[in-house]
Amino acid sequence: MKETAIRLATIADVRDFVNIVAGFDGDIDLISGRYVVDGKSIMGIFSLDLLQPITVRTESDGADELFAKLANYIVK
């Protein structure tokens, strides 16, 4: 399992994030407080508090490649 914090500040960020994660196999979960949603679901993402950083968690074998593609959204 690998996880990192991201920030999705705009509608375009959410759209681009979903387009990136849709190409990866395995589960990609977004966690905000006590809520967990499917990272491939635009509606699920919009149900989260996007003003705060969100944790991305995956158990996919391609986690390093995924996080490299998400580098623009990762909170440093």
- Is residue 27 within 8 A of residue 60, CB to CB? The reply is yes
Q: In CATH, what number is assigned to the domain containing residue 42?
A: 3.30.1340.10
Enter the pTM of the model: 0.91
- Sheet architecture: strand order including 2-6: 2-6, 54-58, 28-32, 35-38
Q: Is it the case that residue 52 has pLDDT exceeding 90?
A: yes
- Is residue 31 within 8 A of residue 55, CB to CB? The reply is yes
**Total domains present in the chain:** 1
Whether 74 maps to a domain, the answer reads no
Whether 22 maps to a domain, the answer reads yes
Domain region containing 15? 2-69
Express each pLDDT in 4-51 by its tens digit: 999 999 999 999 999 999 999 889 999 999 999 999 999 999 999 999
Q: Of 72, 24, 75, which Cα lies nearest the Cα of 51? A: 75
Whether 25 maps to a domain, the answer reads yes
pLDDT at 61: 84
- What percent of the chain is helix, strand and coil (3-state, nearest 5)? 30, 25, 40
